[in-house]
A and B are shown apart, each in its own frame.
Chain A
């Protein structure tokens, strides 16, 4: 989708929202900061006063381990939380950050593809590409759900939300597969390198019209977004066409630098090659004059097919070297704010800016824009694990849906199982209905929840989507999805309860369930309510649960009758807990 078209017709709040991505820094008290709304609303909240200093080692335990895994994975299981808590933070981060091999390519579950055959290395199939795109989405959802202890898929989703492309515009599923592979390979790599690769990624060239950006007919789309959304960010408008960090003239100059790139193989039905191409004849070889915001830098025009693409490097060197008046690298600051909103909280208050964002940005710039050192510092910090930063994220639909099936131990079909596409396609659909359709974000700015002031994450939960979430968790008890066998995701409450510490003890059971499912503790009122009103136990008669549970697990006790007695208490408990507001928090 052409982002300009989107915003031309957009309502004001969207424009404000994009502004939020950029000019909301509290570092400039003079700026008409849109973020002040959010800050104002939360002014009376108790916020973390800690910074990037390392968390005290004795604070590493179940609560902090669960917090780390909730934020970096989709729905950690109890076993994973306990494992992380029992090993050191360092060991846990080593597991989470370990580089991951590329997964097998998606294979279609049904004709026209033969069993086990992928389409991503075949010529374009215009008749079936719509189905392929849905399979590709299902494939990715399945990767999220079946991922082990790793940050990988959350980071891939972060990059997808950052360097947005959408199938609705790109309309060639093979291009998006290739782009996803790029994000996966560079998930924890060098950001500067990734910007360059994303710029000439065939799907991106299509999505932001780089393919039509020529010397004769410049298309400024990518030249704008690469500055406004992908790297340096838009600051407050301080003069006509001047957005603090860049100007309209810089948009035009960047577009000129980018001329000549195009994609290869787009919707080509005769051969399968997909690549980018630089065509010197389409490149503007003149010198590119950037504005005073970039120190009046001139990118020298280059005129050979080998040299001219290097103008890209020159331009990114220029952009990545800009610093704010406080000496902080602008791109690093912009990216660290974005990472903060993805992993910590949406409202960046003065303490977070000064003691988290700035030190993180300094780590990023001094490490030549490597992402890994930044995340390692954040996930070791006292700030990240502060009580005031635990449980304050509202799960996005992928986190909710994928996380729920993952953390409840529901058996998931393997990628070689045709039901894989049915089951995860169903989850993908459900997330899409809740307005998170992976590989089809709403605009080049990504999902609103990560930039839209003042609501941010709260956008995910509405009177429409919240009942849908409850419907999903209810359906898990009878089987979610239209498939049969492994294609239907079926929750086994008893098996799940069995993974708790002392399931026979109803007090302990509720406590353990709450510890795994909720990021914040239940009050006594709530846990009493669960035991006496929801499970239906009576005061001083709590042993009825113990009796029922033990009867079921006694030798020969696994009868339908015993099972039903257990489920009679357990099913309402779990259905209720899945519908509690606490379960919406991550």
Chain B
């Protein structure tokens, strides 16, 4: 058994007690081994959001090299952004580097230390076909290597080796990965199967197998065939294994921060925030926005700060800011990081139709509370050189391999070990300082809670085990008991003095305990609360 397997699904805790192989963790004392475990536990709750920008984003007009404005203007006078426009928008990051004037939201994230720019990301011998380049990014393949499984799928397959056999289960009751859309991304393809599910909308995400684009617009005819079709569709809904957990998570979140509209990326990220906020343990989400393939009319001829590209960048920027604000509001900011990517950048030289042709390197944005953002680390790498002498076929050279970014996220964010990393990434890539130092090791992301809270047990319904967690703002004498519906005590889980903090107590039903509802009740100082849970055998 892998070290982490038996710990998965246990709610991360900073305080005792909980049981490890039947022994109270306290019995191990404060050993380095324990510290490692704690790190691994934290890792299991972490979420990665991948934002795909389809079509090939013009990185040079996204992250603008203020230090090379002569070369920049020479190469693309008809679409170039003026330094003065950047100055008035206030989107400069440093004296050398600026964001597009419409990316005010992402500039704000940068200032908060929650955004990082990785410069010049590509791979050797870049491919300029949309499909092939997208495949390379999604599968983390070499330029001349054809893979059918995706990098994220390989990671998930390594972590959850038996999937889908035996899933969902108590250890991983939730989808491993969720794609907001209709068909799961290649990135989520594991060996021979997809590791993810796709969701167009948590309330009507059933269209994957029902084949209807939205509920109710496509009612089958009132014939025998229509009758059987309706029946099969209903079963299709029922049989989406994760339908209920996804719906339940979505339903738990009653309010969210405002997102910009119309903004399809914001729509998708709002769903992601809602599912994370609702407690899904899903590791990876994929969202996407398209139309970056701007061979023409990238900018307005008279005002280069507006036009198709500006609109897209503003949507991206606004959506990411709203998302980050929302996950903070939902108290899940600690668990989330994300990255944007596009299959390639654009040619340095613009074309005559106010657009750019397919290129190579482009910046990748990494975002989240724990990224190594802000000054001085928030921009990784210098601006790629636009000097014609330094270009290859009119394209930028590469600073970082995109797979270095993946590998860094896997190891620094998910705690992937060396063996796993080489199995997932297929070869070794340099680590980049993507996350703040120490986040990986034993980052205690917990703070002392401000009030008493008794949480819903998880999972629920359960069989045979579930975890009950609660917050103590102060040290307190705690009694936690389970009762049946007739008020008879089933067991006492806690009866001791406990320190302030978040506590989690596992409960395993005995074989004698019947299917049905049970009450768990906490008394901590003057605080008293009770909740219902369901044992379903």
Residue-wise, chain A 422-465 has the 8 Å CB interface mask toward B (1 for contact) of 00000000000000000000000000000000000110011110
Nearest A-chain residue to B194, judged by Cβ = A474
Question: Are B229 and A561 in contact, with the CB atoms below 8 A?
Answer: no
Q: Are B241 and A467 in contact (CB under 8 A)?
A: yes
Rounded to whole angstroms, the CA-CA distance of A46 and B235 in the bound complex is 23
A45-B224, A561-B132, A568-B131 known; A394 and B232 CB under 8 Å? Answer: yes
Asked whether A585 lies within 8 Å of B131 as measured between CB atoms, the reply is no
Is A575 a contact of B235 with CB atoms below 8 Å?
Answer: no
Within 8 Å of chain B (Cβ to Cβ): is A159? Answer: no
Interface footprint category on A: 35 or more
Q: Are B232 and A389 in contact (CB under 8 A)?
A: no
In the bound complex, do residue B224 and residue A462 qualify as a contact, i.e. CB atoms below 8 Å apart?
no
Contact flags B159-197 to A (C-beta < 8 A → 1, else 0): 000000000000000000000011100000000111000
Least CB distance, A50 to chain B, in whole angstroms: 14
Contact bitstring A534-552, B, C-beta under 8 A = 1, else 0: 1000100000000010000
- Could you tell me the distance in whole angstroms from the C-beta of B245 to the nearest C-beta in chain A? 15
CB–CB B192/A560 < 8 A: no
Give Cα A98 to B229, complex, Å.
33
User: A461 contacts B232, CB within 8 Å?
Assistant: yes
Q: Are A44 and B218 in contact (CB under 8 A)?
A: no
Q: Provide the residues of chain A in CB contact with B236, threshold 8 Å.
A: 466, 581
- B148: CB under 8 A from chain A? yes
Is A60 on the interface with B (CB-CB < 8 A)? Answer: no
Q: Knowing A533-B213, A576-B211 touch, does A560 contact B227 (C-beta < 8 A)?
A: no
User: Is B431 among interface residues, defined by CB-CB distance under 8 A?
Assistant: no
Is the beta-carbon distance between B132 and A529 smaller than 8 angstroms? no
Inside 8 A of B45's CB, which chain A residues have their CB?
none
A525 at the interface (CB under 8 A from B): yes
**Which residues of the partner chain B approach A44 to less than 8 Å between Cβ atoms?**
222
Contact status A46-B182, CB under 8 Å: no
Query: Contact between B209 and A580 (Cβ–Cβ < 8 Å)?
Result: yes
Q: Which of B194-245 contact A (CB under 8 A)?
A: 194, 207-213, 217-218, 221-229, 231-233, 235-236, 238-239, 241
Q: Main SS of the interface on chain A?
A: helix
* B146 at interface, CB cutoff 8 A: yes
The answer on a CB contact under 8 Å between A576 and B183 is: yes
Contact pick for A526, options B182, B209, B213, B231, CB 8 Å: B213
Quick check: is B135 within 8 A (CB to CB) of the other chain? yes
Please tell me if the beta carbons of B183 and A478 are within 8 angstroms of each other in the complex. Answer: no
Distance, CA A582 to CA B241, complexed state (A)? 20
Residues of chain B lying within 8 A (CB to CB) of residue A568: 131, 134-135
Set A392, A461, A534: member contacting B227, Cβ < 8 A? A392
Task: Using A478-B192, A526-B212, A581-B209 as known contacts, say yes or no to A466 and B232 having CB atoms under 8 A apart.
Answer: yes
A275 interfacial by beta-carbon distance below 8 Å: no
Measured CB to CB, the closest approach of chain A to B202, in angstroms, equals: 17
**Segment 570-586 of A: residues with Cβ below 8 Å from B:** 572, 575-577, 579-582, 584-585
CB of B183 within 8 A of CB of A46, answer: no
CB within 8 Å for A42 and B211 given contacts A461-B232, A466-B232: no
Known: A463-B238, A572-B183. A564 touches B135 (CB 8 A): yes
Question: 8 Å CB contacts to A: which residues of B232-272?
Answer: 232-233, 235-236, 238-239, 241
B182 lies within 8 A of A534 (CB)? yes
List of B residues within 8 angstroms of A579 by Cβ? 208-209, 211
Q: Once the chains bind, are B135 and A533 in contact (CB under 8 Å)? A: no
Interface size on B, residues (CB 8 A): 40
Tell me how far the C-beta of A460 lies from the nearest C-beta in chain B, rounded to whole angstroms: 10
Which of A45, A470, A529, A585 contacts B213, CB < 8 Å? A529
Instruction: List B contacts of A47 (CB < 8 A).
Output: 223-224
Residues of chain B lying within 8 A (CB to CB) of residue A39: none
Q: Which of B135, B192, B239 contacts A463 (CB 8 A)?
A: B239
B129 at the interface (CB under 8 A from A): yes
Given that A392-B227, A560-B146 are contacting pairs, would A580 and B238 also be in contact in the complex, using a CB cutoff of 8 Å? no
| CB of A393 within 8 Å of the partner chain | yes
User: Which residues in A have their C-beta under 8 angstroms from that of B134?
Assistant: 568
Chain B's nearest CB lies how many Å from the CB of A574? Answer: 11
A-B contact count (CB 8 A): 126
* A523 in contact (CB, < 8 A): yes
**Most A Cβ at <10 Å: residue of B129, B131, B231:** B131
Known: A534-B182, A580-B209, A581-B209. A519 touches B148 (CB 8 A): no
User: Is B192 in contact with A475, judged by CB distance below 8 angstroms?
Assistant: yes
The closest CB in chain A to the CB of B237 belongs to A463
B218: which A residues are within 8 A, CB to CB? 523, 525-526
Cα separation A565 to B146 with both chains bound (whole Å)? 12
Whether B225 pairs with A528 at a CB distance below 8 angstroms is no
Expressed in whole angstroms, the Cα–Cα distance for A463 and B290 within the complex equals 35
Neighbouring B residues of A387 by C-beta, 8 Å: 223
Min C-beta distance of B104 to chain A, whole Å: 29
Supposing A568-B135, A585-B229 touch, asked if A466 and B211 sit within 8 A by C-beta, the answer is no
Measured between alpha carbons, how far is A345 from B226 in the docked complex, in Å? Answer: 13
Q: Are B129 and A393 in contact, with the CB atoms below 8 A? A: no
Please tell me if the beta carbons of A582 and B211 are within 8 angstroms of each other in the complex: yes
Out of A392, A475, A577, A581, name the residue touching B224 (CB < 8 Å).
Answer: A392
Which residue of B131, B212, B228 has the most chain A CB atoms within 10 A of its CB atom?
B228
Residues from 285 to 331 in B contacting A, C-beta threshold 8 Å: 290
Chain B positions within 8 Å of A519 at CB level = 225
| Residues of chain B lying within 8 A (CB to CB) of residue A572 | 183
A391 within 8 A of B: yes
Kindly state the separation between the CA atoms of A389 and B233 in the bound complex, as whole angstroms: 19
CA distance A470 to B213 in the complex (A): 19
Contact of B129 with A561 in the complex, beta carbons under 8 Å = yes
* A153 interface contact, C-beta 8 A: no
B54 to chain A, nearest CB (A): 9
Name 12 interchain pairs, CB-CB below 8 A, sorted by A.
A42-B227, A388-B223, A389-B224, A458-B231, A461-B235, A475-B192, A520-B225, A533-B183, A568-B131, A581-B209, A582-B211, A585-B232
Known: A387-B223, A580-B211. 19 other contacts (CB 8 A): A46-B222, A347-B224, A388-B225, A392-B228, A393-B228, A394-B231, A461-B232, A463-B238, A466-B239, A474-B193, A475-B193, A478-B148, A520-B225, A561-B132, A564-B131, A576-B208, A576-B211, A581-B211, A585-B232
